[in-house]
Amino acid sequence: MINLRQLEFNYKQMPMQFDLQIRTGEKVALIGASGAGKSTLLNLIAGFEQPDSGQIWLNGENHSHSQPHLRPVSILFQENNLFNHLSVEQNIILGLQPNLNINAEQRQAVLHIADKVGLTPYLSRLPEQLSGGQKQRIALARCMLRDKPILLLDEPFSALDTALRQEMLQLLAQICRDKNLTLLMVTHQPQEVGHFVDHTLTVDHGTLINNQVL
């Protein structure tokens, strides 16, 4: 569950104020013009930006000022999600274990998710040897492996073609269902995710302006 209460944040040129209520297991798409504040909203929830005032409640706990790693949240950024000196497999493993030491069961989970996102042939490569879409799939695989109840995705599929976007969306739907995840996902293809999400919210000039049920 995500509950934002009169959350205020100011970049000099753009004051922002967010009120938001997303129930556990709910899936919400976030749309809006470039520069409207979508990424900032995700960064506030994940703890990478600090609000000036207001409250952030996540799964019933007040996380208004907690450290990012203490929040029950996984986030996929628009870019720079990967460690370039680590292999594809190691980048995925980071979702489970920061020191990369995993047991046999965890390795099975890594291989399974790598297979699901079509990265099995690339596991020993470095990210720089992959395309933009393949890199984004590494980050997506890592996010989906993590055991956090809230998933924040910032344009996760923008580098993928239509067919692959559909496949990744199905995988995401399955994982959200299996783990009962709460999902907030920035997208520029609201028509493609309409059947998958419960609501679409629009960010306009630093505020959530509507709540449209699709």
Ligand X SMILES: Nc1ncnc2c1ncn2[C@@H]1O[C@H](COP(=O)(O)OP(=O)(O)OP(=O)(O)O)[C@@H](O)[C@H]1O
Chain residues that interact with ligand X, rule: CB under 6 A = 11, 14, 32, 34-40, 203
Q: How far is the CB of 86 from ligand X (least distance, A)?
A: 26
Q: Do residues 106 and 97 lie in contact, with contact meaning Cβ atoms separated by under 8 Å?
A: yes
**Shortest separation between residue 39's beta carbon and ligand X, angstroms:** 3
CA distance 135 to 92: 11
- SS3 of residue 62 by DSSP: strand
Q: Minimum CB separation from ligand X for residue 129, in Å? A: 27
Q: Which is nearer to ligand X, 37 or 47 (CB)?
A: 37
Residue given tokens 């999600």 in the structure block = 81
C-alpha triplet 28, 25, 199: angle, nearest 5°: 25
With contact defined as beta carbons under 8 Å apart, do 78 and 154 qualify?
A: yes
Cβ 13 to ligand X, closest distance in Å?
A: 6
In the complex with ligand X, the residue whose CB is nearer, 11 or 83, is 11
Please, which residue, 38 or 148, has the CB nearer to ligand X?
Answer: 38
Q: How many CA atoms lie within 13 A of 115 on its CB side?
A: 6
Distance (Å, whole) CA 85 – CA 83:
6
Closest CB to ligand X among residues 39, 136 = 39
